[in-house]
Chains A and B, each alone.
Chain A
C-alpha cells in the first residue's frame, strides 16, 4: 500500500508523457528514436504502424522491461522509474506460456502483489478485490480454470482484470485483436469502454482498424518515431498512411474524411 500512497499521482499531469525517448535492443539500439508524446488522463489511443515499427518496443519501454537509451517517461507526472506500477500491460498472446500451472484467479491475484508487499501472503481483502474484479468482467465462473483453457477473448480479459487488480492507471494492450473472432473483439471493446468510464488511460496497438467498431480519442502512427499523432480524423490521412506503410498501403476512402485499412497480411504471428 505504501508505494501507492507515497506516489499518489497528480490527475492534472498528463497520464503519459514521453520526451526525447530512444530505446532499443542489442543489435537494434534505436528501434525507437526521439519519441515525444503526451497523453491525457482517460484518453484512448490507438498505436498503429507497420511491422517492426517499434510498437512493442514502445510498450516495453513504458512498462519498464526495456531500459531506454535516452529521454524519459513519466506517468501522471511521476518519473517512470518509480511509477511503472501504475502501468498495466496486456501482452501479445505469444508472449505468455498458456500451459503454465496458474488459474484465472492466480493470474489476477498477481496484480495485487505490490499492494500485499514483500514476504506476505494475500489477505481476505485482496481475495475480495480479485473476486469483485472477476465478477465485474464476467470472469467469475472461470476463476478456477487453468488459463490455457480459455478462449482468446477471455484470455485478454484476464490480463485486463490483472491490470485492474494492480490499480493500473495506464493500460497498454499489445495487439489485443490479433487472432480473435468478431465476438471476442466486441467483448474486449466493451471491457475497454468500462475502463474508460473509470478514467483509465488506454494505449492499444493494432494492425487493423475499423473506425466503426473502435472509437479512439487519438491515433499514433509509429515508425521508429512519431509519424503523426492526434485525433483520428486529422491523423488518418492517405498521405500519413503512405508515409508510414509505403506507397502500397491499402487505404480505402470511406465517406469524407474516414479511412479504413486492413493489414491482416502483416499481422504478427
Chain B
C-alpha cells in the first residue's frame, strides 16, 4: 500500500473525518490556552479542572441512559464553570493556599463523579469512555459544538491578548493600569474550563493535561515571546492531532493515548536537539 492510500483510506468514512477534524481542532485550541497555563504555572489547576468536570459529565451520561451525547458538553461545562468559580472564590485572598483550594475542589468533584457513574450498570465501560475519550463516536453536532467553543475561546484571547499578557506577567502593572484584575483572572479560568470540555470527547479526562501543557512547554523551549509561543504550540498541537489520529486508526489504540504520546515524542525530540545544540555551541565556543 502506498503512502497516499495509507493516508486517505481512513478518511473514506464520514465519522472518521469528523474524528480527525475534532482532534485537529482540539489539539490547536488546547495548545493556545495551554500557553497561558504554562507561563502562569497553572498546570495543577488544569489537571484539577479536567477531573472536576467528571460529575457534570457523569450526570449528563446517566441522564441520557449511558449514551455519549451532546449534553455531555453541557454537563461538563456546568461542572467546569462551577469548579472554576469555586476555586476562584476560595483563593480570592491569601487565607487559603491556592493549591490546597484547588486540590480540595478537584477531589470532591471527582469523587462525586465516580459516585454518579457507579450507579450505572455499565460502570466500567462508561468510565473508560469518559476517562480516555472516544473520538470515533463524535457526531456532526458534537463537532460543531467543539468548533463553536474553540472559536469563542480563540476570539476572546485575540481580543484581550495584551491584557491577558499583562495579567500573566505582572499583576502589579495590571493593578496600576486599573485593569479589572479579578475578572480577567476568572475569565482565564473559564477559558481553560471551556477548552477542557471541548477536548473531553477527543482525549478524555485523564490525558487532558497533556494537551494543555506539552505543546506549550515544547514551544517555550523554542521561542522567546508569548505570541510566537502560541503560534508554535498550536502547530505542534495540530500536527500531534493528525499524527495521533493515524496512529490510533492503524494501531487500534485510543486516540487520546496516541495524541499524547505524539506530543511527548515531539517534546522529547526538541529537548534532545536543544541540549545537543547547546553542547555543540559550548564546545565550539571554548
Contact = CB atoms under 8 A, between A and B. Distances in A.
B252 to A, nearest CB: 39
A166 B179 CA distance: 14
DSSP class of B's interface residues: helix, strand, loop or mixed? helix
Given A84-B177, A91-B170, A103 B224 contact: yes
A102 B175 contact: no
Given A96-B170, A110-B170, A119-B159, A102 B165 contact: yes
B178 A110 contact: no
DSSP class of A's interface residues: helix, strand, loop or mixed? mixed
A25 B95 CA distance: 10
Contacts of B144: none
Contact of B225 (A26, A95, A106): A106
B93 A26 contact: yes
B220 A63 contact: no
A5 interface: no
A179 interface: no
Interface string B86-114: 00000001110000000000000000000
Nearest to A148: B224
B166 A110 contact: yes
B6 interface: no
Given A63-B172, A91-B172, A101 B220 contact: yes
A101 B225 contact: yes
Contact of B226 (A88, A102, A122): A102
B126 interface: no
A113 B166 CA distance: 9
Contacts of B161: 121
A120 to B, nearest CB: 8
A64 interface: yes
Contacts of B165: 102, 106, 110
16 contacts: A25-B94, A63-B175, A65-B171, A84-B178, A85-B177, A101-B223, A101-B229, A102-B225, A102-B226, A106-B165, A110-B162, A110-B169, A110-B170, A110-B173, A119-B159, A144-B224
Interface of B: 39, 93-95, 159-163, 165-166, 168-173, 175-178, 220, 223-226, 228-229
Interface of A: 25-26, 60, 63-65, 82, 84-85, 87-89, 91, 95-97, 100-103, 106-107, 109-111, 113-114, 116, 118-119, 121-122, 144-146, 162, 166
| Top 7 A-B pairs, shortest CB-CB distance | A146-B224, A64-B175, A65-B175, A84-B176, A63-B176, A101-B226, A114-B177
